[in-house]
Amino acid sequence: MDLKKIGFVGLGLIGGSIAKAVRTYYPDCEIIAFDKNRETLALAVQEGTIHTACSSIDDNFKGCSYIFLCAPVSYNTAYLSQLKEIMSDGCLLSDVGSVKTSIHEEVISLGLEDRFVGGHPMAGSEKSGFANSKAHLIENAYYILTPTSKVPQETVGRYRDFVASLKAIPLVLDYREHDYITGTISHLPHLIAAALVNYVHDTDTKDGLMKALAAGGFKDITRIASSSPVMWQQICLKNRENITEILDGYIESLRRVRASVDAGNEEALYSFFESSRDYRDSMPNSSAGPIKKQFALYCDIIDEAGGIATIATILASNNINIKNIGIVHNREFEEGVLRIEFYDEDSSAKASGLLKKYRYVVYEI
Ligand SMILES: NC(=O)C1=CN([C@@H]2O[C@H](COP(=O)(O)OP(=O)(O)OC[C@H]3O[C@@H](n4cnc5c(N)ncnc54)[C@H](O)[C@@H]3O)[C@@H](O)[C@H]2O)C=CC1
Ligand SMILES: O=C(O)C(=O)Cc1ccc(O)cc1
């Protein structure tokens, strides 16, 4: 694929990750970016991810093959009119926003329909900012594309191939269907997680026992409550109608289970948990999808200088790549343990065997 120049507006977790993937797979492609945060741009230039840091959406964006809008959703929509004035013929505009209808409506009203393919990588995390971006963030994740009906099929096909070349899995959807689906499987869970955390905050005992005792289950389902408030504020504002309807349906389902609990209905309660277990267990256990499977193990480590380095050396000398490594202090591991995360199941299994051979105590959780 002959790509000369790609532009980014917003270079945080997602923009930065896509830029890094482009840098990896298209080393000759020029990358330019505008972000309202100057430090982000300086870091991206310093790390060699981008060539040019732009102080606004300026003439540097002329000549781009693709321009990615990667700021929070309302800002992406607001920038369209500025981009319309600058983008060259042949430039395709895309975004990565979690909501699609609002940007499609603005694209239609600005007459940009033949130049816009909406995009949404179903990958990410509760972390934000360029510093947390990674070239492989979108790898093996679904990447939803919402082309308008006026973009030529050939252009859609080329964009689809481009997304696949970054190792993501493209999937074309209608933008309205996208917003209903993500409203249920992504926006609702973020609201539930935030509401649950706020509920614990508001009802905790004076000495904060709930916070202290909150264990694995609570932490599993509330990880995403640590996400960017501005990003989620804008998602809720832009997907308001879907989210309201979905919340109504969900609150109704909570009312039904409340009635079963209140009535002591053994059968209803059993079948409630049985059906959720069966459906959850039937979900594909691959890394594709917004919640990526993590391949991690925990290992007791002697508290002495060089302890982590020794383990890292053992793994590196056996060609096992570490994705993340760090000491964890929590109630399950009073003394603190080392958590090592890998890129795949195979590496995790090999590392476990190897560390056990070196007489480390390893926990696979
Ligand atoms: N965080 C996630 O897991 C995912 C996020 N998305 C979507 O990606 C987009 C970006 O999200 P993240 O990268 O996670 O957020 P982020 O907070 O990591 O990055 C946003 C970047 O945009 C910049 N920015 C904010 N306002 C701006 C403005 N007015 N003009 C120029 N730059 C501005 C920020 O300085 C920051 O560098 C959002 O639209 C979000 O809906 C899509 C998939 C996953
Ligand atoms: O961290 C997670 O599990 C997520 O759900 C990340 C995420 C956030 C927003 C999106 O539009 C898509 C994915």
Nearest CA to ligand 2 atom 12: 122
| 139 Cα: distance to centroid of ligand 1 (angstroms) | 18
- Domain-ending residue, one of 154, 177, 200: 177
Q: Is residue 267 assigned to a domain?
A: yes
Q: What is the pLDDT, as a whole number, of residue 104?
A: 98
How much is the average pLDDT of 86-115?
Answer: 97
> In this structure, is residue 282 part of a structural domain?
no
pLDDT digits (tens, 9 = 90+) for 136-165: 999 999 999 999 999 999 999 999 999 999
* Among 272, 305, 339, residue at a domain's last position: 272
Residue 50 belongs to some domain of the structure: yes
Q: In terms of domains, do 43 and 72 share one?
A: yes
Indicate if 138 and 32 belong to the same structural domain: yes
Residue 264 included in any domain: yes
Residues sharing a CB contact under 8 Å with residue 224, sequence separation 6 or more, in sequence order? 126, 189, 190, 193
Per DSSP, the three-state class of 215 is coil
The verdict on 204 and 307 lying in the same domain is no
Give the model's confidence band at 75: pLDDT under 50 very low, under 70 low, under 90 confident, else very high. Answer: very high
Task: Examine residue 306 and state whether it is found in any structural domain, yes or no.
Answer: yes
Q: Are residues 24 and 167 in the same domain?
A: yes
Atom of ligand 1 nearest to the CA of 40: 37
Of 131, 155, 177, the residue that ends a domain is 177
Kindly indicate the confidence band of residue 343, based on its pLDDT and cuts at 50, 70 and 90.
confident
CA–CA separation, 72 and 228 (whole Å): 10
Chain-centroid distance of CA 333 in Å reads 28
pLDDT band, very low/low/confident/very high, at 290 (cuts 50, 70, 90): very low
> CATH number for the domain including 246?
1.10.3660.10
Question: Strand, helix or coil at 54?
Answer: strand
Asked if the structure places residue 280 within a domain, the reply is no
To the nearest whole percent, how much of the chain has pLDDT over 70?
Answer: 94
Looking at the fold, whether 16 and 129 belong to one and the same domain comes out as: yes
Q: Which residues line ligand 1 (CB under 6 A)?
A: 9-15, 35-37, 40, 70-73, 75-76, 96-98, 120-121, 124-125, 128-130, 228, 231, 235
In a domain, 20, yes or no: yes
User: Within a 10 A sphere around the Cβ of 180, how many other Cβ atoms?
Assistant: 16
CATH number of domain containing 329: 3.30.2130.10
Q: Are residues 128 and 240 located together in one domain of the fold?
A: no
Decide which of 346 and 229 is more confident. 229
pLDDT at 167: 96
Residue 169 belongs to what H/E stretch?
strand 169-172
State whether 99 and 228 are in the same domain: no
Residues 146 and 210 reside in one and the same domain:
no
Q: Could you tell me the pLDDT band of residue 22, with boundaries at 50, 70 and 90? A: very high
Q: Do residues 115 and 220 both lie within one domain?
A: no
- The ipTM of this complex is 0.99
User: Any idea how long the chain is?
Assistant: 365
The Cα–Cα gap between 235 and 243 comes to: 10
The predicted-structure confidence for 348-360, as pLDDT tens digits, reads as follows 999 999 999 999 9
pLDDT digits (tens, 9 = 90+) for 291-312: 456 788 988 877 667 888 899 9
The whole-chain average pLDDT of the chain stands at 93
Place of tokens 């930065």: 16
My answer on whether 40 and 172 are in the same domain is yes
> How remote is the CA of residue 293 from the centroid of ligand 2, in Å?
13
Q: State the Cα–Cα distance between residues 190 and 184, nearest whole angstrom.
A: 10
Q: Which helix (H) or strand (E) holds 171?
A: strand 169-172
Q: Which DSSP helix (H) or strand (E) runs through 78?
A: helix 73-86
Mean pLDDT of 12-26: 98
* pTM of the complete model: 0.83
Q: Would you say residue 287 has pLDDT above 90?
A: no
Identify whether residues 168 and 39 lie together within a single domain.
yes
**Tens-place pLDDT, residues 108-135:** 999 999 999 999 999 999 999 999 999 9
List the CATH number of the domain containing 152: 3.40.50.720
Atom 30 of ligand 1, nearest CA residue: 36
The reply to whether 194 and 170 lie within a common domain is: no
Show the tokens assigned to 151. 């973009």
Domain of residue 133: give its range.
Answer: 5-177
Residue 85 lies in a domain: yes
Tell which atom from ligand 2 comes closest to the C-alpha of 223: 1
pLDDT, greater one: 295 or 169: 169
Percentage of residues in the chain having pLDDT higher than 90: 84
> What's the domain count of the chain?
3
